[in-house]
Amino acid sequence: MTRCVAFAGRHFHQPAFSTSPPHTFTTRLSMSTAATEESQQEQREESRPPQPNDREETLVSPWAQATTREGRNNKSRFRQHVNPLARRFQMETELPMEWPQGTFDDPSLPLHLDIGCGKGGFLLELATTRRQEQADVQMNYLGLEIRPNVARHAKGRVARYNLTGSLDFIGCNANVDLRRLLSLYQENGGGSIDFVSIQFPDPHFKASHVKRRVVTPELVVALADFLAEGKEVFIQSDVQELFDDMREKFREYGAELFEDTVEDFGKFLPENPIGVPTEREISVLDQDLPVYRTIFRRTGKAVEE
């Protein structure tokens, strides 16, 4: 028995039931077991008190140790989740000397910052589209991603899209390193942060894992510190509970610092204001499922010391 599958306008017939050789199941089981063990190890690290030799063990950041799996066409093995509270993710990331000088052709241009950029498809598409259709929009683009191998994969795509000098990806934990990164960016000649996007972040569904979510009070205040009046933060998710949680954080801890452009908490932006969807967004909309969105605009209120 076969079923018809459409791909790129063509139709293919494939068995309705898996015909994978036995070793395929064993391989997948081994990968699943390894991922479970790594997750359990991260949970132990989260609750484990610091030890005398911790400094020596974590001397090299996980982003410096990342392997280039994209070179082996092994993208399917990227982990979907990591524990941002694990010890190894509490480090500062490594940056080139004088960054962003030498990374961006013109660091003084305004910056679009995408927190939790994944494999970088959104920024790659956005930068390419603007270059082709909006030549008058001159910006730099920076994506931050906590998963080391995913960040490395995204960075490897920049040259293939001919975007070297205007787009960069950095592996880091935004909840640990965002303020330092933005400080270095502006101290070393970087331009204003004009727009921030936080799209479909990991929902961390378990009640005990909610503290792992990317939007925290500290992140809200850090963004307020570096965004000038009128600059915007765009958030969206297909998980309403997560979206509401992010929105509440900005409304509570960014009170007077940010204005929600959709005043009614029960309402959302009907369309993506950027005009370029993420891969996740496309998948969700293709299933006729809702996406929850809003934009927060920076007010003129200064952050209190």
Q: What is the mean pLDDT of the chain?
A: 85
* Residue reference for tokens 């940010």: 258
Please check the confidence at residue 162 and state whether its pLDDT lies above 50. yes
Write down the catalytic residue from 168, 177, 202, 238.
Answer: 202
pLDDT at 37 over 70: no
Strand locations in the chain (E): 2-7, 10-15, 111-115, 140-145, 167-171, 193-199, 232-237, 258-260, 292-298
Q: Is 202 a catalytic residue?
A: yes
- Two structure tokens written together for 255: 């009170």
Residue 100, preceding bond cis, omega within 30 degrees?
yes
Band the pLDDT of 298: cuts 50, 70, 90: very high
Looking at the predicted structure, is the pLDDT value of residue 7 above 70? no
Q: Is the pLDDT of residue 229 over 60?
A: yes
Token readout for 228 is 């000038």
CA distance 163 to 112: 14
